[in-house]
């Protein structure tokens, strides 16, 4: 099932994946961006540096995703930080060699865990997941 979700994410735009998450949830359980801000320091608590960013690095950390959880991976550019309510990010953070990743409970809109990933290069598979977008979302 997870492989199917990853393949589907690679084939759709990030917006399309987000729409699937929203449509799959009932009207009272609509998947939303966290209401309260996420302080950037939270991403530093579980920071990791890798030479090559691959799908396993992203997926293993997020597991297990519960039915009501989504995992978001995003480039930390100003637009995405604002979109996801991340505050206190240093301006000099390179969005070409860093990602933010967090797991959010869609019912409580709370972030269960978050981390910053610094990398040297990104695998083609992960590039495909982003599909030219600035983030992607996987649902548990």
Query: Please, which pLDDT band fits residue 138 given cuts at 50, 70 and 90?
Result: confident
Nearest C-alpha neighbor of 32 from the set 59, 65, 68? 68
How do residues 4-50 score in pLDDT, each as one tens digit?
Answer: 333 333 333 333 333 333 334 333 334 456 667 889 999 998 999 99
Percentage of residues of the chain with pLDDT beyond 90: 34
Domain boundaries, the chain: 2-139
Alpha-carbon distance of 28 to 93, in angstroms, equals 37
Determine the pLDDT at residue 37: 84
Alpha-carbon distance of 11 to 6, in angstroms, equals 9
Q: Report H helices in the chain.
A: 2-11, 14-24, 41-44, 55-62, 78-83, 124-130
Determine the pLDDT at residue 121: 96
Q: pTM for the complete prediction?
A: 0.72
């Amino acid at each position: 099932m997870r492989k199917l979700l990853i393949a589907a994410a690679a084939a759709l735009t990030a917006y399309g994946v987000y729409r699937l998450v929203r449509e799959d949830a009932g009207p009272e359980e609509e998947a939303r961006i966290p209401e309260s801000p996420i302080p950037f320091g939270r991403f530093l608590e579980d920071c990791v540096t890798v030479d090559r960013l691959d799908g396993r690095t992203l997926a293993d950390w997020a597991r297990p995703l519960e039915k009501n959880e989504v995992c978001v991976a995003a480039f930390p550019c100003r637009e995405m930080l604002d979109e996801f309510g991340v505050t206190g990010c240093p301006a000099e953070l390179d969005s070409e060699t860093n990602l933010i990743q967090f797991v959010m409970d869609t019912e409580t809109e709370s972030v269960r865990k978050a981390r910053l990933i610094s990398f040297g290069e990104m695998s083609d598979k992960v590039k495909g997941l982003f599909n030219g977008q600035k983030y992607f979302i996987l649902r548990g």
